[in-house]
Structure 1
Amino acid sequence: MVMQRGGMGMRGRGRGRGIGGPGGKMQPPFIPHVPFDLVLAEPAFPPVRAVPQETEEAFQAALLKRNQDLTPSEKEANAVTNLVTKAQAVFDNLIVNPGNFDACIEEVRQVGPYKQGTMLTGTNVADFVIVLKTLPTKEANEALGNKVWESLKAKEPKEVLTMVATEKGFDLSNTEATARVQVTTIHPNLKKLEAGLHLDVKHCQAAHSAIKYSRWFEDNAQQPTIKTLVRLLRDLKRRFSGFEPLTPWMLDLLAHYAILNNPMCQALPLTSAFKRVLQLLSAGFFLPGSAGITDPCESYSVRVHTTMTLEDQDLVCLTAQTLLRVLSHGGYKQILGIEGNSSIVTEMSVWDGVVVNPLERAYEKPADVTGEEDMEAEAGDMEAE
Structure 2
Amino acid sequence: GREQKATEQLTRTLRGVMRVGLVAKGLLLKGDLDLELVLLCKDKPTSELLEKVADNLGVQLAAITEDKYEIIQSVGDAAIIIKNTKEPPLSLTIHLTSPVVREELEKQLAGETLSVTDSPDVLDRQKCLAALASLRHAKWFQARANGLKSCVIVIRVLRDLCTRVPTWAPLRGWPLELLCEKSIGTANRPMGAGEALRRVLECLASGIVMPDGSGIYDPCEKEATDAIGHLDRQQREDITQSAQHALRLAAFGQLHKVLGMDPLPSKMPKKPKNENPVDYTVQIPPSTTYAVTPLKRPMEEDAEEKSPSKKKKKIQKKEEKLEAPQAMNALMKLNQLKPGLQYKLVSQTGPVHAPIFTMSVEIDGSTFEASGPSKKTAKLHVAVKV
Q: TM-score, normalised by structure 2?
A: 0.56
Measure the CA separation in 2 of the matches of 1:287 and 1:193.
44
Are 1:182 and 2:95 matched, yes or no?
Answer: yes
**Which amino acid is the alignment partner of residue 188 of structure 1?**
E
The structure having more radius of gyration, on CA atoms, is 2
Measure the CA separation in 2 of the matches of 1:195 and 1:335.
52
Unaligned runs of 5+ in 2: 1-6, 109-115, 264-386
Q: Is the 8 A contact 2:184 2:200 kept in 1?
A: no
Aligned residue runs from structure 1 range 1-385, under 5 A: 104-156=13-65, 158-166=66-74, 167-174=77-84, 175=86, 177-186=90-99, 187-188=102-103, 197-223=121-147, 224-262=149-187, 264=188, 266-339=189-262
Q: Is the 8 A contact 1:294 1:302 kept in 2?
A: yes
The residue number in structure 2 matching 1:51 is none
Residue 122 of structure 1 deviates from its aligned partner by: 1.9
CA RMSD of aligned residues (A): 3.0
Percent sequence identity over matched residues?
24
Q: Is the 8 A contact 1:111 1:129 kept in 2?
A: yes
Aligned residues: 240
Residue 312 of structure 1 deviates from its aligned partner by: 2.9
Residue 246 of structure 1 deviates from its aligned partner by: 0.9
Measure the CA separation in 2 of the matches of 1:195 and 1:333.
56
Q: Mark the CA change 1:243 to 1:267 in structure 2 (over 3 Å): closer, same or farther.
A: same
Q: Secondary structure at the match of 1:300?
A: coil
Q: Secondary structure at the match of 1:244?
A: helix
Q: Is the 8 A contact 1:135 1:193 kept in 2?
A: no
Instruction: Point out which structure has higher relative CO (alpha carbons under 8 A, 6+ apart).
Output: 1
Residue 103 of structure 1 deviates from its aligned partner by: 8.8
Q: Is the 8 A contact 1:103 1:140 kept in 2?
A: no
Q: Mark the CA change 1:107 to 1:193 in structure 2 (over 3 Å): closer, same or farther.
A: farther
Residue 118 of structure 1 deviates from its aligned partner by: 1.4
Q: Secondary structure at the match of 2:262?
A: coil
Residue 208 of structure 1 deviates from its aligned partner by: 0.7
Measure the CA separation in 2 of the matches of 1:234 and 1:276.
16
Measure the CA separation in 1 of the matches of 2:244 and 2:119.
42
Q: Is the 8 A contact 1:287 1:305 kept in 2?
A: no
Q: Mark the CA change 1:195 to 1:321 in structure 2 (over 3 Å): closer, same or farther.
A: farther
Residue 162 of structure 1 deviates from its aligned partner by: 1.4
Q: Mark the CA change 1:193 to 1:141 in structure 2 (over 3 Å): closer, same or farther.
A: farther
Residue 239 of structure 1 deviates from its aligned partner by: 0.6
Measure the CA separation in 2 of the matches of 1:325 and 1:246.
21
Unaligned runs of 5+ in 1: 1-94, 341-385
After TM superposition, the structure 1 stretch with the greater mean CA deviation from structure 2, 225-234 or 317-326, is 317-326
Measure the CA separation in 2 of the matches of 1:159 and 1:258.
45
**Which amino acid is the alignment partner of residue 301 of structure 1?**
A
